[in-house]
């Protein structure tokens, strides 16, 4: 099964490109202390807003800090936010979606009305409202993005469970005396992992984009911690004289989100059962 999945996945050049981008970003974030040419927090007042050069490939910011070093370390921040926030959203969405899809009836009605209620609020503005009452730190940002981003996953898991709960292997497990929790987590959930994995991949891209937007507004990751979003903020303040502060972090966000989206689409296409008959 895994061999068949990999065979289909590697035939998709866009999916492979997305996988290379994501893998490169993960390696970059893990090796940031060794790959960054300078200390990302080191201030050099002699090189304020210096353009790209042999010494500073991506130029420097308004405090003379090396932009390339800050972006390399910022990749780690983005990956951390993306994975942790998506992990929180996956846990909440999977549990609630599984309960709604498996039990149906009033349990399904109650959970899905709560999902509908949460979807009534624009997610980004809901995040802004919550942050207004909390200290803007990276841990709060990860928790808030995760807690406000689980609704789509819950609906997806619910749909899969409704489809799978009447299958023969579930009926056989129930006839053998398996309890509800065993059936949910050991029999049905593994068969829904493909959809969950796709949702997780796309969710990481969304979380990174949200964190960048919050940092750009000044309520996300706080300086001097490097983040692509707060580098963009410096670029906005100096757009007329320091184009590199906007161009390079903007491209980094674009390539990252594109990579995760391509990877997610590739996983979805490779795992789609309808493609196996072709």
Region 228-250 average pLDDT: 86
Q: What is the DSSP letter of 50?
A: P
CA angle 156, 198, 188 (to 5 degrees): 55
Residues 76 and 97 sit within 8 Å (Cβ to Cβ):
no
Q: What's the Cα-to-Cα distance from 241 to each of 14, 60, 61, 272, 275, rounded to whole Å?
A: 36, 12, 11, 49, 52
Would you state the structure tokens that stand for residue 127, as one six-digit string? Answer: 């995040």
Tell me the pLDDT tens digit for each residue of 202-238.
899 889 888 888 888 888 788 788 888 888 888 888 8
Place of tokens 């819950």: 154
Q: Which numeric CATH code is attached to 14-27+65-277?
A: 1.10.3720.10
Tell me the pLDDT tens digit for each residue of 110-149.
999 999 988 887 777 878 777 777 777 788 888 888 998 8
Each domain of the chain, given as residue ranges in start order, spans 14-27+65-277
Q: What's the Cα-to-Cα distance from 213 to each of 150, 189, 205, rounded to whole Å?
A: 19, 34, 12
Residues 86 and 57 sit within 8 Å (Cβ to Cβ):
no
Q: What is the DSSP letter of 277?
A: G
Angle between helices 67-103 and 193-216 (to 10 degrees): 140
Residues 92 and 147 sit within 8 Å (Cβ to Cβ):
yes
Q: Please tell me the predicted confidence (pLDDT) of residue 274.
A: 55
* Distance between CA atoms of residues 145 and 236, nearest Å: 24
What percent of the chain shows pLDDT beyond 70? Answer: 97
- Per-residue pLDDT band for 71 (boundaries 50, 70, 90) equals very high
Tell me the pLDDT tens digit for each residue of 143-200.
888 998 899 999 999 998 998 888 888 888 888 887 888 888 888 888 888 888 888 9
- Asked whether the CA dihedral 36, 39, 42, 44 is positive or negative, the reply is negative
């Amino acid at each position: 099964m895994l061999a068949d999945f990999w065979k289909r996945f590697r035939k998709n050049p866009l999916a492979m490109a997305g996988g290379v981008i994501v893998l490169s970003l993960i390696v970059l974030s893990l090796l940031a202390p060794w790959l960054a040419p300078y200390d990302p927090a080191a201030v050099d007042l002699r090189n304020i807003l210096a353009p790209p050069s042999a010494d500073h490939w991506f130029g420097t910011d308004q405090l003379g800090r090396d932009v390339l070093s800050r972006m390399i370390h910022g990749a780690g921040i983005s990956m951390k936010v993306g994975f942790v926030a998506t992990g929180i959203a996956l846990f909440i969405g999977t549990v609630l979606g599984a309960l709604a899809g498996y039990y149906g009836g009033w349990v399904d009605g109650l959970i899905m009305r709560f999902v509908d209620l949460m979807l009534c609020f624009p997610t980004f503005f809901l995040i802004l409202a919550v942050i207004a009452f909390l200290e803007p730190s990276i841990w709060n940002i990860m928790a808030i993005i995760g807690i406000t981003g689980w609704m789509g996953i819950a609906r997806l898991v619910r749909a899969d469970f409704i489809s799978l709960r009447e299958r023969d292997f579930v009926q056989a497990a129930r006839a053998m005396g398996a309890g509800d929790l065993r059936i949910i987590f050991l029999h049905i959930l593994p068969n829904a992992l493909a959809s969950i994995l796709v949702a997780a991949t796309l969710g990481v891209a969304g979380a990174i984009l949200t964190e960048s937007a919050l940092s750009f507004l000044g309520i996300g990751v706080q300086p001097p911690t490097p983040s692509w979003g707060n580098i963009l903020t410096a670029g906005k303040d100096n757009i007329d004289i320091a184009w590199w502060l906007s161009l390079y972090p903007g491209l980094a966000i674009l390539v990252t989100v594109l990579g995760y989206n391509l990877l997610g689409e590739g996983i979805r296409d490779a795992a789609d059962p309808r493609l196996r008959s072709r």
